[in-house]
Structure 1
């Protein structure tokens, strides 16, 4: 069973740490370890030794292996690299002179090598955009296909279960219309398909339609796949098999369901989005093999952890604009404001908040003013950013304040009754596009206040 490392986890693993860059052989060793553990091979071209050690620990390997077998020794690695290229050159030469068609075969080998290098560069560009905090764009990297397995037969539809002591949720009239706004649950983060859908083989017709619409060939005896398919998550309180059921739909056609366990985990944020009159949207990867008698299919959807889908608080009053999601930025001096933060730490210890960013000035001993970024929660100061990090955001705040807007950003809060910390996720000024600046303000989605239960309209069979 492969591990699943979420994008949030990757951003933590690849956080800047100031350690020396890992060597080529060390990077390749870490990539191979990740591939064995997860089934996916990242690029990791910019890997440092500290990041490499964290990743190895995450996949159950000893960081000490980074220096075994001569890894990290410049002279040995240089010799190994020369040996690799020498053997490769000899192989191409032998193939080229072995037969009249050898030249074409040798050219094909060289072309394949360059194609693989291009795929890795593309993958690195995706990682830079989604794991290192660059502006988020559609994933262009080459994803290593997941293991192609057939959905177990007992996962066709959610199973009937009793919920003792749980009051039923009364459905309300279906007020939503096709024109409802979409709430992208990623909030601007990468959309990597990481959550398995169950029961796909019961919805072969819809899966084939989605594949064809994505220009993926569908033919008997061959497999098809597509990524980045826009799907919706629909809560079905009237589902006769499971009142917590959440269906995965493409153009209102069911492709499958979240598993029973995942449906319970994601029920609160998904129902909150739907009850607020919005569509819970994300992307999916679809793979299928048409075996004539039966369609084998696998659908995976991109979902952050449930507590990081919707903010715990509401946006402050006034004209606000939501800054795009960016790399993790540690908020400083939050320990000085624990009396405020402790009231926002959720029972699970981790949650998402909407905070506002403001320009402030600090007077140095020599009388010089130094600007920095102050972080506020519901209008109260809860910390600040370092001088270096502030410099990346101050131009953006100058712009928003000039046009009368308050900059908002998402922040991850984690802690307990003893301590709490804030990690800001905001794009830097250099990562903001001119299109984003020219079209605004960018209001945050309007959600109902956080609650234990929400009334959502019936959706089973609709």
Structure 2
């Protein structure tokens, strides 16, 4: 006999829809080969902290694992996001990449953490121990991430660790990647560095800063660092980034020299990156081809091509994992195509871009200075000129000249920012020079000036003048530089 309660229960069960099975999350798998392709070295700017964290979170949602990606660039970030099905546009949404907003966010994060630690500390007698545990956990997570990054550098670099030209090296303490500009026998701790500099040290030569005073950020990867552990450890020690077994070291803003090696038996375009006469690595073959000519021109002029680098290394005990990145602009923006004019000149520090006006009226002059690549750097002189208006009013403005010929002028507003500086240089008998980027073809040319405003010039710079532009040999398709490679 079926009771009424049983009938009601049966009707409810029949009316209730069947519960769908819990959806199983299928994680995407990214192979090491795919990561090597995604993280291939490029020349884009480094991703900011919040952009890196966004990419890491996107990868974690897609794969279930959160990588480190401490050295991620914007180009690499875009490729990774596309690979996991996210739009690269999100890299700049929500204020990501905006320095002011990111700085405010970082300050807010640390402020909230500090308040949390203070509240935990004063909340109870055991609060101090709990706060110490929170701080210790932070350091532990930071250490684990650096260890993870060391593994990524060793596994997801352009070539497998432990191979030289595709041949396994079973017991090498340090290795050279396959795209090393100069594959050589592995250096051993305590031995002299490979390829010692046969030219004077940096301090004995005039310096030519390849950044030309622009903001410097390490954007070009060096290859073959693992073959030069002695020099890398020495540079870290000198930069107060000491190395110890099972620990990492890091130094930023390290002064390095770029040395062309025309006698390199493996690559005639080879360019080594050196610190105090010791090789830290080489530019890749691709980058060496692009940078060889401007660097050789600097060296042929009797100057040392100086740049800044970031050095990171992790000493695992059995081998050194290292990464060196150098701050380099585009090759065509390293050295000007023309020479500085004669006389007493002073070079205005690099500043924000300023559009030169009426350059289209002087294309007959500019067309002779447009390089085959379509983009180049020029040295121009700035001159104060008085324009008389119809009502008789005299208005000063700045005229831009190239090799003594007028090629344009600056607007009244822009001229007002630079006129005080020009009045100073003319008073002391100097001609003001500035760098200008020329872009064009056989049809048209555009000139953009890069000069600091008068309000951006320090008193020390004014008192230390003049600041002559470096004297370089004339631009040519080839330069004779001394040998620098040693077996």
Residue 282 of structure 2 corresponds to residue 257 of structure 1: yes
2:88 alignment counterpart: 60
1:253-295 per-position Cα deviation (integer Å, ceiling 9, x unaligned) = 1111000000100010000011111111111111111111111
Equivalent position to 2:323, from 282, 295, 298: 298
1:16 alignment counterpart: none
Distance 1:370 1:300, change over 3 A: same
Residue 448 of structure 2 corresponds to residue 434 of structure 1: no
2:377 alignment counterpart: 352
Q: State whether residues 199 and 484 of structure 2, in contact with CA within 8 Å, keep that contact through their aligned partners in structure 1.
A: no
SS in 1 for 2:89: coil
Distance 1:213 1:306, change over 3 A: same
1:26-425 equivalences under 5 Å are 60-61=88-89, 95=120, 99-102=124-127, 148=150, 149-150=153-154, 152=159, 153-154=163-164, 155-156=176-177, 157-158=180-181, 179-425=204-450
Distance 2:238 2:91 in 1: 45
- 1:88: how far off? 8.4
Distance 1:342 1:255, change over 3 A: same
Distance 2:126 2:296 in 1: 62
Distance 1:36 1:107, change over 3 A: closer
Distance 2:400 2:42 in 1: 33
| Bigger relative contact order (CA 8 A; separation at least 6) | 1
Distance 1:318 1:355 in 2: 14
Distance 1:145 1:394, change over 3 A: farther
Distance 1:64 1:206, change over 3 A: closer
SS in 2 for 1:312: coil
Distance 1:240 1:146, change over 3 A: farther
- 1:365: how far off? 3.0
- 1:403: how far off? 1.2
SS in 2 for 1:418: coil
SS in 2 for 1:373: strand
Equivalent position to 1:453, from 478, 482, 487: 478
- 1:95: how far off? 3.9
- 1:366: how far off? 2.4
- 1:93: how far off? 8.9
Q: State whether residues 197 and 299 of structure 1, in contact with CA within 8 Å, keep that contact through their aligned partners in structure 2.
A: yes
Distance 1:212 1:188 in 2: 27
- 1:244: how far off? 0.9
Aligned residues: 369
Distance 1:109 1:94 in 2: 12
Distance 1:287 1:28, change over 3 A: closer
* Unaligned 5+ runs, structure 1: 11-26, 43-58, 68-83, 114-143, 161-173
Distance 1:271 1:41, change over 3 A: closer
SS in 2 for 1:318: coil
Distance 1:62 1:230, change over 3 A: closer
- Greater shift after overlay, 375-384 or 178-187? 178-187
- 1:99: how far off? 3.8
- 1:179: how far off? 2.0
Q: State whether residues 35 and 41 of structure 1, in contact with CA within 8 Å, keep that contact through their aligned partners in structure 2.
A: no
1:286-312 per-position Cα deviation (integer Å, ceiling 9, x unaligned) = 111111111111111111100000000
SS in 1 for 2:311: strand
- Greater shift after overlay, 30-39 or 199-208? 30-39
Task: Provide the TM-score with structure 2 as the length reference.
Answer: 0.67
SS in 2 for 1:227: strand
What is the root-mean-square deviation in Å for CA atoms of aligned residues? 3.7
Distance 2:242 2:251 in 1: 10
Distance 1:242 1:453 in 2: 16
- 1:439: how far off? 1.8
Distance 1:257 1:424, change over 3 A: same
1:120 alignment counterpart: none
Distance 1:159 1:343, change over 3 A: same
Larger radius of gyration: 2
- 1:319: how far off? 1.2
Task: Provide the TM-score with structure 1 as the length reference.
Answer: 0.71
Distance 1:369 1:147, change over 3 A: farther
* Unaligned 5+ runs, structure 2: 1-37, 59-68, 74-86, 96-108, 139-145, 165-175, 184-197
Distance 1:220 1:106, change over 3 A: closer
